[in-house]
Amino acid sequence: MCGIIGYVGKKQAGSILIDALKRLEYRGYDSAGLALLDRGKIFPLKRVGKVCELERAQRHFRHSGTIGIGHTRWATHGNVSEKNAHPHLSNGSHFAIVHNGIIENYLQIKTFLSEKNYTFYSDTDTEILANLIDYHHHKATHLPFAEIVRKSLLHVEGTYGIAVLGKPFPDEIVVARKSSPLLIGLGDGENIIASDAAAIARYTKRVVYLNDGEIASVRPDHFSVMTADESSVDTVCHELDWEIADVNCDGYPHFMLKEIFEQPTAIENAMRGRFTRDGSSTKFGGLSLTPEALRSIDRLFFCACGTAYHACLVGKYLIEKYARIPVDVEYASEFRYRNVPLQRNTLVFVVSQSGETIDTLAALYEAKRKGYPVMGITNVVGSSIARATDAGIYQHAGFEIGVASTKAFTSQLTIFSMLALLLARRRDMDQFDGQQYVFALKSLPKVVGEVLKLSERIRSIAERYCKRERFLFLGRQAMYPIALEGALKLKEIAYVHAEAFPTAEMKHGPIALVSEETVCIFIATQRELLDKTMSSLQEVRARGGKVVVVAGDGEVEWEVFGDEVIRVPEVHGGINPIISVIPLQFFAYYVGILRGCDVDRPRNLAKSVTVE
């Protein structure tokens, strides 16, 4: 969601901040800004819209400086405007702040500060924190900068990642976090602060991750960390062991299309080194579970949001089918507010592509408070979820810039398919069936490559239906969450109303929506359920609805019954969901661009949701 950057060192800060903000654009935002400390004064610069607008303004900015902070904002409190964009300054411009998160008690603090003659110029919750820091500074001007910020945060309820610049402290930035990621990149005579390693990977590979409740003072050649209760912290320096490519599309018109075509590589990376020697099962070194512990699991519990939630639903179907272990799937945003009964011998998984999803982090902490082992599935090494879980699995899908997840989703599906096999082989699945499953998994990158060849065929279908305003996605069993994902992609990318249902549920209400203007997309790649799917398809046709079928390349003549048919290879049930979702990704992409939408940065959405 919002992005934070800060620099203190020997170089001109403005150009570094702009470059780093560009590398945070993939997270989603609606305005951007920076503030430089130059010759004893703080100078802000803010623009609505893209970072390029800020960059154009910065070329004519008369101020420079070797210390500064920057931000990309995704609006929560207050509309999208320059006055609400970050950074925010305190009265008198003694302090500037950038902030990710939400201050829940900001109205109480605002009332208190108003009584102290502070005035406010924005509609945000962030501005009150700049003035609160100013208030504490004037109460005790002798205190160190970090101590002033610490005292201010004692009054704050909510979530935050902040970076603060202070006119009285010309060579220092103070940062603090609570449920919103922050890290410090270490350089030679310079240090750089960010909410995402993507922003600073070109400047340094040495980083220190802040934990919840920690506050850091960052200077050009030194930094120190303490907790909210004034305890000092022994920090650990991590080496970034992943490369971030230059932010370009490599010849593709959009990142989303590029990432759809990167799926064979992403899937192959998810599987690399994770098969047993006899070729009948999988292994995950990061799970740190003995064979005995795996066999003792009575129930699995998955928590996630959005696209990751759909991946968990697919995982439920696969694990229950092949391993015969009951699986519960819960929206992470609901889990912490419900008294969910978790049985003994329950293993909890939290799933998040970014590893920073705040609702999923909250679910993680709630499960740990209840004493359950919590595993993580995430794509980002060093993310908050990766560091907070007891163990877990990295996806290794590579950097994903498009807000609507594609390759990270199929990477998650691959992990769940492999997990289903692992658990099945610890239970009842024999070696031969395990080898057949492994053979299917190893063939997956090649089969996905075949599906990618359908791109132009799907574009032609999208051209015929891109003006429609009502879409229904229908699938049975493991294809139901694939239908959910297809509908979500169309909503995210093309701003079209789309819903998904289990195919047989059509006649229990949703069929009332079917008319000549309705497009029904059936995911019909399960051979054992074709007759039932055909019956539902006929019900739609009888009411004049348009029918698009994603079908296997078997002998069924779907062309007789569907207006459009997209043929994909018939594959093992453990990988069928992965094959089936790719045409839906293409369809959403092409409908989006045909409707003139910004498919890489859809309106109102963010790549990493770090506010509740």
**Residue 533: strand, helix, or coil:** helix
Residue 268 CB: number of other CB atoms within 10 A? 17
Distance CA 262, CA 585 (A): 13
pLDDT score of 611: 56
Fold of 3-239: Glutamine Phosphoribosylpyrophosphate, subunit 1, domain 1 (3.60.20)
pLDDT score of 342: 79
User: Which one of 22, 46, 407, 607 is the catalytic residue?
Assistant: 607
Residue 160: φ, ψ to 5° = -165, 145
Q: Model confidence over 489-518: pLDDT tens digits? A: 999 999 999 999 998 888 888 888 888 889
Distance CA 251, CA 496 (A): 28
User: Which one of 2, 305, 312, 520 is the catalytic residue?
Assistant: 2
pLDDT score of 258: 95
What is the CATH code for 255-450? 3.40.50.10490
Return the structure tokens found at 143: 């205190």
Active site residue 607: yes
Q: Model confidence over 372-384: pLDDT tens digits? A: 889 999 998 888 8
The fourth-level CATH superfamily of domain 453-612 is: Glucose-6-phosphate isomerase like protein; domain 1 (3.40.50.10490)
pLDDT score of 269: 94
CA 106 to chain centre: 27
pLDDT score of 245: 46
**pLDDT below 70 — which residues of the chain?**
1, 241-247, 555, 606-612
Q: 357: which residues sit within 8 A by CB, 6+ positions away?
A: 304, 305, 308, 332, 385, 608, 609, 610
Pairing of strands 31-38, 41-48: antiparallel
Q: Model confidence over 233-262: pLDDT tens digits? A: 888 888 876 555 445 778 899 999 999 999
Distance CA 527, CA 504 (A): 16
% pLDDT > 70, the chain? 97
- Domain map (residue ranges) of the chain: 3-239, 255-450, 453-612
Among candidate residues 452, 449, 435, 500, the one with its CA nearest the CA of residue 474: 500
pLDDT score of 23: 84
pLDDT score of 565: 92
pLDDT score of 526: 85
Return the structure tokens found at 81: 């405007």
Active site residue 205: no
Distance CA 448, CA 452 (A): 6
170 preceded by a cis bond (ω within 30 of 0): no
- Shared fold status for 3-239 and 255-450: no
**Residue 475: strand, helix, or coil:** strand
**94, 104 Cβ separation under 8 angstroms:** no
pLDDT score of 487: 97
Return the structure tokens found at 1: 């969601």
**44, 32 Cβ separation under 8 angstroms:** no
**Residue 148: strand, helix, or coil:** helix
